[in-house]
Amino acid sequence: MQFAVLVNAAADSPAAMTALNTVKALHTHPDHQLYRLFLYSDAVQLANRHAWRGDAENATTAQQWQQWVQQNGIAAEVCVGAAQRRGIMDGEHGSTLAKGFSLVGLGQWADAMINAERVLQFG
Protein backbone atom coordinates (compact mmCIF):
# COMPACT_ATOMS: atom_id res chain seq x y z
CA MET A 1 0.00 0.00 0.00
CA GLN A 2 1.31 3.44 -0.92
CA PHE A 3 1.12 6.30 1.56
CA ALA A 4 1.46 10.04 1.05
CA VAL A 5 2.40 11.90 4.22
CA LEU A 6 1.80 15.61 4.73
CA VAL A 7 3.51 17.18 7.72
CA ASN A 8 2.33 20.65 8.80
CA ALA A 9 3.54 20.45 12.41
CA ALA A 10 6.22 22.83 13.65
CA ALA A 11 9.47 21.33 14.89
CA ASP A 12 8.53 22.04 18.51
CA SER A 13 5.14 20.30 18.18
CA PRO A 14 4.63 16.74 19.44
CA ALA A 15 2.92 16.03 16.11
CA ALA A 16 6.27 16.45 14.32
CA MET A 17 7.76 13.59 16.34
CA THR A 18 4.61 11.49 15.87
CA ALA A 19 4.94 12.05 12.12
CA LEU A 20 8.57 10.95 12.19
CA ASN A 21 7.76 7.78 14.13
CA THR A 22 4.95 7.03 11.70
CA VAL A 23 7.06 7.43 8.55
CA LYS A 24 9.77 5.30 10.12
CA ALA A 25 7.22 2.53 10.69
CA LEU A 26 5.85 2.88 7.16
CA HIS A 27 9.35 2.75 5.71
CA THR A 28 10.22 -0.51 7.45
CA HIS A 29 6.88 -2.28 6.93
CA PRO A 30 7.16 -4.82 4.10
CA ASP A 31 3.65 -4.15 2.76
CA HIS A 32 3.81 -0.35 2.86
CA GLN A 33 5.57 2.17 0.65
CA LEU A 34 6.14 5.83 1.34
CA TYR A 35 4.96 7.34 -1.94
CA ARG A 36 5.65 10.93 -0.94
CA LEU A 37 6.76 12.83 2.14
CA PHE A 38 5.79 16.50 1.91
CA LEU A 39 6.61 19.22 4.44
CA TYR A 40 4.35 22.24 4.42
CA SER A 41 3.59 25.24 6.59
CA ASP A 42 5.70 25.38 9.79
CA ALA A 43 7.00 21.85 9.17
CA VAL A 44 9.43 23.24 6.59
CA GLN A 45 11.65 24.20 9.54
CA LEU A 46 12.34 20.47 9.94
CA ALA A 47 14.46 20.82 6.78
CA ASN A 48 16.50 23.79 8.03
CA ARG A 49 20.14 22.67 8.15
CA HIS A 50 20.89 25.31 10.76
CA ALA A 51 18.89 23.46 13.40
CA TRP A 52 20.76 23.19 16.69
CA ARG A 53 23.55 20.59 16.54
CA GLY A 54 24.25 18.67 19.70
CA ASP A 55 24.77 15.17 20.94
CA ALA A 56 22.33 12.46 19.93
CA GLU A 57 20.69 12.34 23.36
CA ASN A 58 19.63 15.98 23.11
CA ALA A 59 19.01 16.19 19.36
CA THR A 60 16.13 18.37 18.31
CA THR A 61 13.17 17.02 16.40
CA ALA A 62 14.48 18.74 13.24
CA GLN A 63 17.82 17.01 13.57
CA GLN A 64 16.19 13.64 14.13
CA TRP A 65 14.19 14.19 10.93
CA GLN A 66 17.30 15.24 9.02
CA GLN A 67 19.34 12.31 10.26
CA TRP A 68 16.63 9.79 9.37
CA VAL A 69 16.08 11.27 5.89
CA GLN A 70 19.81 11.21 5.14
CA GLN A 71 20.46 7.74 6.54
CA ASN A 72 17.57 6.16 4.67
CA GLY A 73 17.76 8.02 1.37
CA ILE A 74 14.20 9.28 1.70
CA ALA A 75 12.99 11.81 -0.87
CA ALA A 76 11.73 14.47 1.51
CA GLU A 77 9.99 17.28 -0.32
CA VAL A 78 9.57 20.78 1.07
CA CYS A 79 7.04 23.31 -0.21
CA VAL A 80 9.12 26.01 -1.89
CA GLY A 81 6.68 28.83 -1.08
CA ALA A 82 6.39 27.95 2.61
CA ALA A 83 10.16 27.52 2.83
CA GLN A 84 10.94 30.86 1.23
CA ARG A 85 8.53 32.64 3.57
CA ARG A 86 10.51 31.16 6.47
CA GLY A 87 13.98 31.94 5.10
CA ILE A 88 14.81 28.44 3.86
CA MET A 89 16.43 28.43 0.44
CA ASP A 90 18.57 26.33 -1.83
CA GLY A 91 20.33 28.04 -4.65
CA GLU A 92 23.24 29.99 -6.00
CA HIS A 93 23.06 32.60 -3.23
CA GLY A 94 23.39 30.07 -0.41
CA SER A 95 21.47 27.23 1.09
CA THR A 96 19.78 26.62 4.40
CA LEU A 97 18.17 23.39 3.20
CA ALA A 98 19.44 20.20 4.84
CA LYS A 99 20.82 17.35 2.73
CA GLY A 100 18.19 14.94 1.49
CA PHE A 101 15.46 17.57 1.26
CA SER A 102 14.33 19.25 -1.95
CA LEU A 103 12.22 22.30 -2.66
CA VAL A 104 9.17 21.53 -4.79
CA GLY A 105 5.86 23.09 -5.70
CA LEU A 106 2.37 22.13 -4.56
CA GLY A 107 1.94 20.13 -7.75
CA GLN A 108 4.00 17.39 -6.12
CA TRP A 109 1.51 17.20 -3.27
CA ALA A 110 -1.42 17.18 -5.72
CA ASP A 111 0.22 14.23 -7.47
CA ALA A 112 0.55 12.43 -4.14
CA MET A 113 -3.13 12.88 -3.32
CA ILE A 114 -4.11 11.50 -6.71
CA ASN A 115 -1.74 8.53 -6.83
CA ALA A 116 -1.24 7.35 -3.24
CA GLU A 117 -3.66 4.84 -1.80
CA ARG A 118 -3.70 6.50 1.63
CA VAL A 119 -2.98 10.04 2.79
CA LEU A 120 -1.81 10.87 6.32
CA GLN A 121 -1.58 14.40 7.71
CA PHE A 122 0.18 15.57 10.86
CA GLY A 123 -0.18 18.98 12.47
Is residue 52 predicted with pLDDT exceeding 70?
A: no
Q: What is the pLDDT of residues 85-121, one digit of tens each?
A: 999 999 877 899 999 999 999 999 999 999 999 999 9
Res. 51 pLDDT band, cuts 50 70 90: confident
- Report pLDDT for 94: 81
Q: What is the 3-state secondary structure (H, E, C) of the chain?
A: CEEEEEECCCCCCHHHHHHHHHHHHHHHCCCCEEEEEEECHHHHHHHECCCCCCCHHHCCHHHHHHHHHHHHCCCEEEEHHHHHHCCCCEECCEECECCCEEEECHHHHHHHHHHCCEEEEEC
Task: Determine which one of 6, 34, 43, 79 is catalytic.
Answer: 79
Contact assessment for residue 88 and residue 46, using Cβ atoms and an 8 Å cutoff: no
- Please state the domain extents for the chain: 2-122
Q: Which CATH superfamily includes the segment(s) 2-122? A: DsrEFH-like (3.40.1260.10)
Backbone Cα Rg of the chain: 14
Catalytic residue check, 79: yes
The pTM of the full predicted model, rounded to 2 decimals, is 0.92
Phi, psi for 109 (deg, rounded to 5):
-70, -40
Is residue 20 predicted with pLDDT exceeding 60?
A: yes
Q: What is the pLDDT of residues 58-95, one digit of tens each?
A: 568 999 999 999 999 999 999 999 999 999 999 877 89
